[in-house]
Structures are given as C-alpha cells and as structure tokens.
C-alpha cells in the first residue's frame, strides 16, 4: 500500500463531487418531498410538512401507485432470479468452446446494443401478429430479460475468466462429482459476484421504461404508471415515493452488505479459502 499521496486527496474529492452529482436530483427530491400540503413539484416551498408521506398511502386521484409498485417489484424479482440462474448456466457453458458459441456470444452483445425501443416495438408487433395478449409478466418479462441477461452474462464471463480452475481440479481429485464440485466449490466462490448480478438485474428491471412501454398490456408497471400519472396534476407524492425509495434502498443495501460480511466471516471461520479463488 502506497502512502496517501496528493493524488489520493484530489481523486477522493473528485469522487465526492461525482457522488454529489449523482445525488443532485435525489437531494432535490428529498427537500421537495417535505412540501406543505399546498405545495407543488417545484420551488418555491409552500410550508414544510410530512403531508405527502401520509398522502402516499392514500388513494391518489389518478393511478395506482402501490398496485403498480407490487407489479414492478414482482417483475424485478422474477427478472432477478431468472437473470442469475441463466447467467450462471451461461457463464459455465462458455468456459469451454462449443459449436455455436461465437454466434451466441454475438447475439448476447447484440441484445445489449439494440436500442430498447426497438425491442419493445418488435415484441409488441410479434404478440400482435401472433394474436397473443401482451402482459407485463409475459411479453414485458421477456423484453426486460433481453436487457438484463447480457449484463448478467458479461459479469459471469468476467468472473469465470479469472476463476482459478485448480480449485475445481482439487475437488475432482478428491472424488467430487461434477454437481458436487459446482455446488460446494464453484458456487461459494462466485457467490459475492452473484449478488452483483442480482442487484443489476433488479435495478435494470425495476426502472425499465422503454422496453416495457409497448409490452406491458392492460396493467402498468411503476415507471409507466408514474408516466401516466403525469397526464393529470401530480403532487409531491411522487417525491415522497422517491425519498422513501432511497431510504429503503439504504436499508436493503445495509442488509446485503451484512450478508456479504457474514458470508466471508463464516467462510473464514470454516478455514475455507473460498472467495479467494479469484485472481
């Protein structure tokens, strides 16, 4: 470890500014969510109150925040689980060359770079032509997977690229079956990275707008619902939702971090060197 140089402080300050920049809108939202009961979405403040936080749990004039939140949250979880499972499977498959692997790889890249609105349009058209019902849990789900899967896979490729194979060989030498090797050696080592994939999957799905726009069907996801709500008078209720989301996120992330730390600790106490298998 080098001594903390001037560049450390300069970069730390830069990083601080970057975080401040990222939090700019969140801070604005935070302040304005305490608007008085007659306040609006913009400055000036019209008194200070907790009115909108209570109002958030009342029925709104337009739209159904909690119904769409449940859908988005459920969809996020579905996307998260499928992304994690498929990415791990894909990541393992890609550790050796197989016929079609290059084609599949470019398909994954293509999935990443195709503008969202096109996927939305295409999936919507197909369902239209095949006379299927568009629904957030079918067409919406699939459309979002084309976005989260490439991210999950790319992370898994990166993970397996620097996975030290000697651990597996050791396990095999000790007589472990392929499944046991995966279950007791590979998965524990890549577990922290899976949390990353899961987080990515959930975040990307939860806030996805364009891909769900033409594929959600009768019931809106949260981003679509909020967009729909802006066709009438919206209130700082939206900001209250934002502020609560941020607070809730801090809570969740606290939990995730504790899990990671606990995992490491239990691994350390078992004397396993899992987690160090990454080069």
Q: Taking the complex as a whole, how short is the minimal distance between the CB of residue 78 and another protein, in angstroms?
A: 13
Overall size of the chain counted in residues: 279
In angstroms, give the least distance from the CB of 271 to another protein: 19
Of 144 and 167, the one with the shorter C-beta distance to another protein is 144
User: What CA–CA distance (Å, rounded) separates 239 from 183?
Assistant: 44
End-to-end CA distance of the chain: 18
Q: Taking the complex as a whole, how short is the minimal distance between the CB of residue 188 and another protein, in angstroms? A: 16
Partners of 163 in the β-ladder = 278
Q: 91 and 157 in contact (C-beta within 8 Å)? A: yes
Structure tokens at 224: 């679509």
Q: Which is nearer to another protein, 121 or 184 (CB)?
A: 121
C-beta of 161 vs 180, nearer to another protein: 161
Instruction: Tell me the closest approach of the beta carbon of residue 170 to another protein, in angstroms.
Output: 19
Structure-token pair, residue 99: 């016929």
**Residue 92, Cα to own-chain centre: how many angstroms?**
22
Angle among Cα 185, 189, 195 to the nearest 5 degrees reads 130
Q: Which of residues 152 and 167 has its CB atom nearest to another protein in the complex?
A: 152
- Our CB check for another protein shows the closer of 28 and 184 to be 28
| 181 close to 172: Cβ distance less than 8 angstroms | yes
Q: Closest separation between CB of residue 62 and another protein, Å?
A: 4
């Amino acid at each position: 470890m080098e001594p903390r140089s001037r560049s450390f402080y300069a970069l730390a300050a830069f990083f601080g500014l970057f975080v401040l920049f990222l939090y700019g809108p969140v801070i604005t939202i935070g302040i304005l969510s305490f608007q008085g009961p007659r306040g609006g979405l913009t400055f000036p403040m019209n008194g200070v109150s907790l009115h909108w936080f209570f109002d958030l749990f009342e029925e709104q004039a337009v739209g159904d925040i909690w119904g769409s939140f449940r859908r988005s949250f459920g969809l996020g979880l579905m996307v998260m689980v499928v992304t994690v499972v498929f990415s791990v499977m894909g990541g393992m498959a890609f550790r050796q060359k197989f016929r079609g692997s290059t084609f599949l790889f470019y398909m994954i890249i293509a999935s990443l770079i195709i503008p969202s609105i096109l996927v939305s349009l295409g999936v919507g058209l197909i369902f239209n032509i095949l006379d299927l019902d568009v629904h957030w849990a079918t067409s919406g789900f699939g459309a979002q997977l084309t976005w989260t899967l490439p991210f999950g896979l790319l992370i898994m490729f990166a993970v397996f690229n620097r996975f030290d194979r000697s651990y597996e060989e050791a396990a095999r030498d000790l007589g472990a079956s392929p499944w046991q090797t995966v279950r007791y050696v590979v998965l524990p080592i890549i577990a922290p990275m899976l949390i990353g994939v899961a987080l990515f999957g959930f975040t990307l799905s939860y806030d996805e707008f364009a891909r769900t726009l033409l594929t959600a069907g009768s019931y809106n996801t949260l981003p679509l619902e909020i967009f729909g709500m802006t066709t009438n008078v919206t209130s700082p209720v939206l900001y209250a939702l934002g502020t609560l989301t941020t607070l809730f996120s801090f809570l969740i992330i606290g939990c995730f971090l504790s899990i990671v730390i606990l995992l490491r600790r239990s691994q350390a106490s078992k004397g396993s060197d899992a987690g160090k298998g990454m080069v």
